[in-house]
Amino acid sequence: MKPIRFNVDPKEYKHLKVAVEGPIARITLTIPEDGGLRDGYKLKLNSYDLGVDIELADATRRLRFEHPEVSAVAIQSGQDGIFSAGANIFMLQTSGHPHKVNFCKFTNETRCSIEDSLQDSKQYYLAAANGLASGGGYELCLACEEIHLIDDRNSTVSLPELPYLGVLPGTGGLTRLVDKRKVRRDLADLFATVAEGVKGQRAVDWKLVDAVHTASTFHEKVTARLQEIAGDGNPYKGITLDVLKADYADGGAEYKYVNLKINHDSRVATIELTGPDAADGDIPATPSDLGCDWYGLRFWRELDDALLNLRNNYYEIGTVVIQSSGDINNVLKLDNALAEKKDDWFIREVLVEIKRVLKRIDYTSRSFFTLIEPGSCFAGSLFEIALASDRIYMMDHEEEENFVAISTLNDGFFPMGNGISRLNTRFYYEKDSAEKVIAAKDKLLTAAEAMALGIATDTPDDIDWEDEVRIQIEERASFSPDALTGMEASLRFPGPETMETKIFSRLTAWQNWIFTRPNAVGERGALTMYGNVRSPEFDWKRV
């Protein structure tokens, strides 16, 4: 199958249009039926596949960087009487299990970034549902701060996955109903089993939408509300994001600062990271003058693309080794400059980008091992990648210097989905340990010191290093991928649970399970039989 690419050019969007008028932006879904990522299904009724969400994710990122003056964003439809019928069912029918789950995961990450946009980027999202919003289409509405529905006696909001397909809303729909919209449990239960959905004033009464407007006033009312939200907009001038230059090959992907190598025989990938130059930490009075080619932004965009490439094109790769090279002091210099300029809109957006890419690691169903060797530059923001890994191995070399370092950015700048930093998550029940690590800020830490502080898993010496690391990687690659996915998702988020961690833990657990059950995808399962005149057949045992 043709590789899936996430590095898109807005000039080549097929599925949506973005228009900016002063402080207001409109993202209009105009999904062509023949615009699918692959053949075999039609994207009717503004239904979507991964290709649509790739463009949506790109558009929302570009609004942050290219149009920071925008303070209100409407997501609307270019088709009369239909907002979106959600994820294309025939795409789901004809997709393998890994594609279905990865599709749901990426879609959810995009929804979460929309939800973060108000706090992170001062951009308020409003869903203008000028017609039916079903399944994933309604879930897109749920990601917005407000939902406005047309009251034309026909248009409804619905989550029909259970009655129609024998599965559940795969992008957090049920969690967002009760945790975000605060819909009463019994009403949510009824809503999720009524395939035809809810419309009009009842949708408002049940808290499913915020407002309904007649067909004759819908556009006027939505525009007035957008103007009220937007006000004078944000006082910023954006930059242009280019399309990343990448050399994609069967062996992985090579960028300017990131190199993804694939070893099919061992089922292990290596991500090689290059650190910044000293000049990258020199931030001018107007930081946006640095543009999109600046290391502080480009590096993280490249890493994000590499992770998505790995996730969606190399299912058999289960273990990822992360290595780095560069001057550790340059990383500390850049981090301190970022912290100093954190109130500037451009630097704020760079920090948001870093946070979201790090979350991409947290939510990726792969085992991550960081290897720290002489010549590495795992400090501060780059050490955060190590903290996101499942294990950290650091060589204790007798002759060559090998250091890690903590910067001020490790102290709460990049919260995980649970709302706390990776250091505080690592030491959730050891507050003193986290404080000791932060107290060592800007100090070059040896392997022995890192081990004593608890920020290394093991520190083999240079004589045993190669064999020790090889054995651990080979062992990891030999385990059951299913069991590892469950184990990693269970261990990565100790501490408090949030709506976001609930969504992704449930996606990892029940969506993985339900999408393999005969009641959904068996020969006579509901998803398999959708569109067939025959009814599905269920195994009635409750498990």
In this predicted model, what pLDDT tens digit does every residue of 525-538 receive, in sequence order? 999 999 888 899 99
Q: What is the pLDDT of residue 307?
A: 98
- The Cα–Cα gap between 188 and 207 comes to 10
Give me the residues paired with residue 129 across strands: 149
Average pLDDT over residues 334-341: 98
Q: What is the pLDDT of residue 525?
A: 95
Q: Are 302 and 257 in contact (CB under 8 A)?
A: yes
- The Cα–Cα gap between 389 and 422 comes to 10
Q: What is the pLDDT of residue 48?
A: 97
* pTM for this predicted structure: 0.97
Q: What is the pLDDT of residue 253?
A: 96
Average pLDDT over residues 331-360: 98
Q: What is the pLDDT of residue 14?
A: 97
Mean pLDDT of the chain: 96
Tokens (6 digits) for 343: 């109130």
**253 backbone dihedrals φ, ψ, rounded to 5°:** -155, 135
Average pLDDT over residues 123-145: 98
Write down the CATH superfamily of domain 10-230: 2-enoyl-CoA Hydratase; Chain A, domain 1 (3.90.226.10)
Strands of the sheet with 268-274, listed across from one edge: 247-249, 252-254, 258-263, 268-274, 319-325, 367-372, 391-394
SS3 for 225-249, per residue?
A: HHHHHHCCCCCCCCCCCCCCCCEEE
Average pLDDT over residues 295-306: 98
247-484 CATH, one of 3.30.365.10, 1.20.58.1690, 3.30.110.70, 3.90.226.10: 3.90.226.10
Report domain extents, the chain: 10-230, 247-484
Average pLDDT over residues 430-437: 95
Average pLDDT over residues 341-346: 98
- The Cα–Cα gap between 116 and 144 comes to 10
Q: Is 540 exposed, middle or buried (0-12, 13-18, 19+ CB in 10 A)?
A: exposed
Helix (H) or strand (E) holding 196: none
In this predicted model, what pLDDT tens digit does every residue of 45-98 receive, in sequence order? 999 999 999 999 999 999 999 999 999 999 999 999 999 999 999 999 999 999
- The Cα–Cα gap between 406 and 439 comes to 9
Average pLDDT over residues 104-128: 97
User: pLDDT-derived band of residue 507, with 50, 70 and 90 as boundaries?
Assistant: confident
Q: What is the pLDDT of residue 167?
A: 94
Expressed in percent and rounded to 5, the helix, strand and coil fractions of the chain are 45, 15, 40
- The Cα–Cα gap between 65 and 239 comes to 6
Residue type, 32: P
Q: What is the pLDDT of residue 52?
A: 98
Burial code (b: 16+ CB inside 10 Å, e: under 16) for 134-164 equals bbbbbbbbbbbbbbbbbbbeebbbbbbbbeb
* Contacts with 483 (C-beta within 8 Å, 6 or more apart), sequence order: none
- The Cα–Cα gap between 266 and 255 comes to 23
Tokens (6 digits) for 524: 């006579």
Q: Are 225 and 148 in contact (CB under 8 A)?
A: yes
Q: What is the pLDDT of residue 349?
A: 98
DSSP 462-476: TTTHHHHHHHHHHHH
Q: What is the pLDDT of residue 251?
A: 84
pLDDT at 269 over 80: yes
> Which DSSP category does 176 fall into?
I
Fold identical between 10-230 and 247-484?
yes
Closest CA to 58 of 15, 105, 120, 115: 15
Q: What is the pLDDT of residue 500?
A: 95
Q: What is the pLDDT of residue 508?
A: 81
Question: How many Å from the N-terminal Cα to the C-terminal Cα in the chain?
Answer: 35
- The Cα–Cα gap between 424 and 437 comes to 10
pLDDT at 43 over 80: yes
Burial code (b: 16+ CB inside 10 Å, e: under 16) for 449-461 equals bbbebebbbebbe
Q: What is the pLDDT of residue 82?
A: 97
Tokens (6 digits) for 105: 């995961």
**151 backbone dihedrals φ, ψ, rounded to 5°:** -105, 85
- The Cα–Cα gap between 126 and 71 comes to 11
Average pLDDT over residues 407-416: 97
SS3 for 403-459, per residue?
A: CEECCHHHCCCCCCCCCCCHHHHHCCCCHHHHHHHHHCCCCCECHHHHHHHCCCCEC
pLDDT at 1 over 80: no
Q: Which residue has the tokens 């946070």?
A: 355
